[in-house]
Chain A
């Protein structure tokens, strides 16, 4: 598996991190070709169920739709490994819950796929083995970089989730929010995979970039690879 170019169904975008070339799929997943791994963060499976139990009427089908999106990405890239950067689930699974069945069904269909996860704040006591997932504790070293859930500082470059970064773009009085990958010098924060969560607005600071997920394509932001940092204040990103 190489670069997701050519006949790839969506327009992904590559970025350099910790000396490696990684790709961001606009469906909110990262592809690491050299490690043959797809990385996703913050799936929050079962969140709809928990909200329903608190009296918020979220209909069925959100978990299922998210897992279908994940399956489509795996279908296109055929990686060896799926790595989950924490918060796979939103709360403790109960046997018989529909979303858990959907997950186990997903797992059965991807029998050959290695799936490993680091723990997030929502699944710090989860029994990963019951969901047929390898448990990598709170962080794991993958050679060039480390993966963990929350973005605390580390010796090695870190790929993390937790923040649910979104970019808010303004064009005059119009504005729109897009989930994004927040790329910082020693640290990359993945967009939340779930569609059932708001986001935390971030801006690109000095030596940082955002990669916006616009459904069918990724847009590096601010635009222009070698843009002079001092002009950034004038861009429309707020």
Chain B
């Protein structure tokens, strides 16, 4: 029997025609693709009609044999909560247009209790959900049973999931869904993606797949709001508020504008600044980011759709999906840091067929002119980031195994085969799998049992079940791979919720202090265990919370284009950057392809060595590790940005040996090892341990009461290293540090390039513009925490001797 019988497709076509819709050819192609292909990747720009392309075959199938209350048929997974609500709405409209009696239910973190219950019981034909909520649902036996009748799963904005651990979570979930419903069709949707074949391979996982493309993408028109004097911009600035007076006339001239910022703190500050100078009605302005209460976000989205709002400051929370036909212009504050993101954001403006997408870029520090020039060059050369999917994420595997064990007793051999069926774990070795199972069962490495450890245990027939109801409850609270500090809800005294901030930020405040959230100035009244009570403050200066994980790294594609832009770039941005480049050349030097610029500065009690390979911050961190291993005396601390790296020395650095340090290819143990780069390893472990569930999150509302049952990842890391160095998560974090933080293969290529480069060793009398930009970098890390501890200790002891 065909997947979507032709009688169903005919009926769908006639219902659509009756409502005045004529399906595009790529939509019809998508419906038919599902006949033979079990996995279909649909590539189409935003607003082109992806929803109907994905839904059509399922609607037709339902129309072929209409039934009431048939149970769960289609899962729609979307990476953004904002997108989930919008998707549910537009899916419901298509369902209604097709005249099918389907219940469309939204299950995301923001869902109501009733929706959560209906989702768990499978009381919906179409369920819209997020990767985390889907995983949570799979931990319930009832939901897995309801999935038996599933026809398909749709993954929206697939490029966002690929290359992240959330994507791995979705891959594992699909593997389980395929086992529950063997004829399941998987569809992925994407607007812009670097490597479609890989993207499809991840979805298909060895099954037959097909790619359907809509007609060509829109051209992009970049406009830069050039600063009158780039050297007058602050070096540290990624905020860019001083550009507001220049931008304001552009905003007031347009009917509606969407301003993208790169961090939530930046969005808060831009909103406040805009609010204070906006000549019109202040209710025409709004703010949208991930820490604002859901009902407020929804009202902003509604305001954008209806055209009520004239300017909205947003973060990546509005990057994707949500249809915004009324938005006239898009503004990007600061560098977009990636080509795909630039295209995505530019595409948010009003979509007129044939008209190019436009975006106004507002550089906030001088070197961003160069980044924009690089983006222009890379786009002209047709480059866009390819997402390389993650493989063998053992921390996600540990979480997934626990999740599945909550739903039903887990047979190790069966689950091994199921997991190996995914793209991410196709190469999973039995030994690694066994080690993870042993960790969940006994706590430690395969040989060492930790007495009293309880997470999973074997039942009578050798299957794994949760050791207690408490394990199950704790695990459900911890599902997901997006980590951050704990978020504390912020509420007015009347109980109205404003949003949420990180507990670490709140810990620095005292009652009476003011802070800014959701564009409002708030005074902290009291800090309860599970919430912060606030009152509106009038006209007082307020601090802006900084949420973790805020800053976007420059994509490696854009990083690579930087040197190219210096060499052969053209356009208004490079013209504007002339004085900057001239100053760099005057104080130090401007590197050309085939050259490596290093600058050394003597400070009181310390030396700073800057190296500028222009290879993006990830590779720079790896290079910092390598130089740390090869230089003697070793550097104490490093900082990186997208242009270069900074090493801080307590003694004069051995500059003469720099060339020789770059002449040999790096060995693994030089990048990470005893004491070396422990900070990175520790930070990875923090993430891995949380994803794998080795550490408990405080349940909401638990407050201090359960504090004694928690342990910081730092302490656990130290204890494991001392007492069980072979622990699987410790080893896995080590591997991830090498592969992700240090980008081992990338580092090898970089060292090879730099080994051949001509060294330009400069000792400028004052900080060069490139050095200034790196100096201003806040993200610094000690190379070796123990060395830092030693240094602080020695300094403190010296202080004690000479009062």
User: Which A residues fall within an 8 A CB radius of B?
Assistant: 47-62, 65, 90, 97-98, 122, 169-171, 173-176, 178, 195-198, 212, 214, 217, 219-227, 235
User: Which B residues fall within an 8 A CB radius of A?
Assistant: 439, 443-444, 448, 450-455, 467, 470-471, 474, 636-637, 693-696, 708-712, 715-716, 719-720, 722-724, 727, 729, 780, 782, 785, 788-789, 791-793, 795-797, 799-801, 803
In the bound complex, how far is the Cα of B729 from the Cα of A178, in angstroms? 27
In the bound complex, how far is the Cα of B801 from the Cα of A224, in angstroms? 8
In the bound complex, how far is the Cα of B467 from the Cα of A59, in angstroms? 18
Q: Which residues of A contact B800 (CB under 8 A)?
A: 219-221, 223-224
Query: A223 and B796 in contact (CB under 8 A), knowing A55-B696, A56-B696, A57-B443?
Result: yes
The answer on a CB contact under 8 Å between B792 and A60 is no
Q: Which residues of B contact A58 (CB under 8 A)?
A: 443, 450, 711, 716, 719
Q: Which residues of B contact A54 (CB under 8 A)?
A: 454, 470, 474, 696, 709
Contact check: which of B709, B727, B791, B795 meets A59 at CB < 8 Å? B727
Query: A176 and B789 in contact (CB under 8 A), knowing A54-B709, A55-B471, A171-B795?
Result: yes
Query: A56 and B796 in contact (CB under 8 A), knowing A51-B709, A198-B715?
Result: no
In the bound complex, how far is the Cα of B695 from the Cα of A61, in angstroms? 19
The answer on a CB contact under 8 Å between B450 and A57 is yes
Q: Which residues of B contact A225 (CB under 8 A)?
A: 803
In the bound complex, how far is the Cα of B708 from the Cα of A48, in angstroms? 11
Q: Which residues of B contact A47 (CB under 8 A)?
A: 708
In the bound complex, how far is the Cα of B358 from the Cα of A55, in angstroms? 52
Q: Which residues of B contact A90 (CB under 8 A)?
A: 708
Q: Which residues of B contact A198 (CB under 8 A)?
A: 712, 715
Q: Which residues of B contact A174 (CB under 8 A)?
A: 636-637, 782, 788, 791-792
Within the complex, the shortest CB–CB distance from A43 to chain B, in Å, comes to 14
In the bound complex, how far is the Cα of B800 from the Cα of A219, in angstroms? 7
A-B contact pairs, 17 of them (CB 8 A): A52-B443, A52-B452, A53-B452, A53-B454, A55-B455, A55-B467, A55-B474, A57-B727, A57-B729, A58-B719, A59-B443, A97-B451, A171-B796, A174-B782, A175-B792, A219-B800, A227-B803
Query: A56 and B711 in contact (CB under 8 A), knowing A176-B789, A223-B800?
Result: yes
The answer on a CB contact under 8 Å between B453 and A53 is yes
Contact check: which of B439, B453, B727 meets A52 at CB < 8 Å? B453
Within the complex, the shortest CB–CB distance from B139 to chain A, in Å, comes to 15
By beta carbon, the residue of chain A nearest B789 is A176
Query: A97 and B452 in contact (CB under 8 A), knowing A174-B782, A219-B797?
Result: yes
The answer on a CB contact under 8 Å between A176 and B788 is yes
Q: Which residues of B contact A173 (CB under 8 A)?
A: 637, 780
Contact check: which of A50, A61, A97, A171 meets B792 at CB < 8 Å? A171
Q: Which residues of B contact A222 (CB under 8 A)?
A: 799
Q: Which residues of A contact B716 (CB under 8 A)?
A: 56-58
Within the complex, the shortest CB–CB distance from A2 to chain B, in Å, comes to 24
By beta carbon, the residue of chain B nearest A224 is B803
The answer on a CB contact under 8 Å between B444 and A59 is yes
The answer on a CB contact under 8 Å between A169 and B708 is no
Query: A62 and B723 in contact (CB under 8 A), knowing A52-B452, A54-B696, A212-B796?
Result: yes
Query: A50 and B453 in contact (CB under 8 A), knowing A57-B439, A59-B720, A171-B795?
Result: no
Within the complex, the shortest CB–CB distance from B675 to chain A, in Å, comes to 15
The answer on a CB contact under 8 Å between A56 and B799 is no
Q: Which residues of A contact B452 (CB under 8 A)?
A: 49-50, 52-53, 97
In the bound complex, how far is the Cα of B444 from the Cα of A65, in angstroms? 18
Q: Which residues of A contact B801 (CB under 8 A)?
A: 223
Within the complex, the shortest CB–CB distance from B700 to chain A, in Å, comes to 17
Within the complex, the shortest CB–CB distance from B93 to chain A, in Å, comes to 45
The answer on a CB contact under 8 Å between B723 and A55 is no
Query: A52 and B454 in contact (CB under 8 A), knowing A58-B719, A59-B448, A59-B727?
Result: yes
The answer on a CB contact under 8 Å between B709 and A49 is no
The answer on a CB contact under 8 Å between A196 and B719 is yes
Q: Which residues of A contact B470 (CB under 8 A)?
A: 54
The answer on a CB contact under 8 Å between A223 and B637 is no
Q: Which residues of B contact A62 (CB under 8 A)?
A: 719, 723
Q: Which residues of B contact A51 (CB under 8 A)?
A: 709, 711
7 further contact pairs, Cβ within 8 A, besides A59-B444, A174-B791: A57-B450, A90-B708, A196-B711, A196-B719, A222-B799, A224-B800, A226-B803
The answer on a CB contact under 8 Å between A55 and B454 is yes
In the bound complex, how far is the Cα of B448 from the Cα of A57, in angstroms? 11
Q: Which residues of B contact A217 (CB under 8 A)?
A: 797
Within the complex, the shortest CB–CB distance from A179 to chain B, in Å, comes to 12
Q: Which residues of A contact B782 (CB under 8 A)?
A: 174
The answer on a CB contact under 8 Å between A60 and B797 is no
The answer on a CB contact under 8 Å between A176 and B792 is yes
The answer on a CB contact under 8 Å between A60 and B637 is no
Query: A59 and B712 in contact (CB under 8 A), knowing A171-B792, A223-B796?
Result: no
Q: Which residues of B contact A221 (CB under 8 A)?
A: 796, 800
Best-buried of A49, A62, A174, A225 by chain B (most CB within 10 Å): A174
Within the complex, the shortest CB–CB distance from B792 to chain A, in Å, comes to 4
Within the complex, the shortest CB–CB distance from A215 to chain B, in Å, comes to 9
The answer on a CB contact under 8 Å between B792 and A169 is yes
In the bound complex, how far is the Cα of B719 from the Cα of A65, in angstroms? 11
By beta carbon, the residue of chain A nearest B471 is A55
The answer on a CB contact under 8 Å between B696 and A98 is no
In the bound complex, how far is the Cα of B667 from the Cα of A124, in angstroms? 55
In the bound complex, how far is the Cα of B710 from the Cα of A221, in angstroms? 30
Nearest 9 Cβ contacts at the A-B interface: A224-B803, A57-B443, A223-B800, A59-B723, A59-B724, A52-B453, A55-B455, A176-B792, A61-B723
The answer on a CB contact under 8 Å between A56 and B694 is yes
Q: Which residues of B contact A48 (CB under 8 A)?
A: 719
Best-buried of B471, B637, B711, B801 by chain A (most CB within 10 Å): B711
Q: Which residues of B contact A235 (CB under 8 A)?
A: 799
Contact check: which of A53, A56, A65, A195 meets B695 at CB < 8 Å? A56
Q: Which residues of B contact A65 (CB under 8 A)?
A: 722
By beta carbon, the residue of chain A nearest B792 is A176
Within the complex, the shortest CB–CB distance from B573 to chain A, in Å, comes to 32
Q: Which residues of A contact B723 (CB under 8 A)?
A: 59-62
Best-buried of A169, A173, A195 by chain B (most CB within 10 Å): A173
Within the complex, the shortest CB–CB distance from B714 to chain A, in Å, comes to 8
Q: Which residues of A contact B797 (CB under 8 A)?
A: 214, 217, 219
Within the complex, the shortest CB–CB distance from B592 to chain A, in Å, comes to 33
Within the complex, the shortest CB–CB distance from B639 to chain A, in Å, comes to 9
By beta carbon, the residue of chain A nearest B714 is A198
Q: Which residues of B contact A52 (CB under 8 A)?
A: 443, 450-454
By beta carbon, the residue of chain B nearest A227 is B803
The answer on a CB contact under 8 Å between A60 and B795 is no
By beta carbon, the residue of chain B nearest A168 is B792
Contact check: which of B471, B474, B793 meets A176 at CB < 8 Å? B793
In the bound complex, how far is the Cα of B719 from the Cα of A219, in angstroms? 25
Q: Which residues of A contact B803 (CB under 8 A)?
A: 223-227
In the bound complex, how far is the Cα of B493 from the Cα of A142, in angstroms? 49
In the bound complex, how far is the Cα of B795 from the Cα of A55, in angstroms? 40
The answer on a CB contact under 8 Å between B788 and A57 is no
In the bound complex, how far is the Cα of B793 from the Cα of A52, in angstroms? 33
Q: Which residues of A contact B715 (CB under 8 A)?
A: 195-198
Q: Which residues of B contact A61 (CB under 8 A)?
A: 722-723
By beta carbon, the residue of chain B nearest A226 is B803
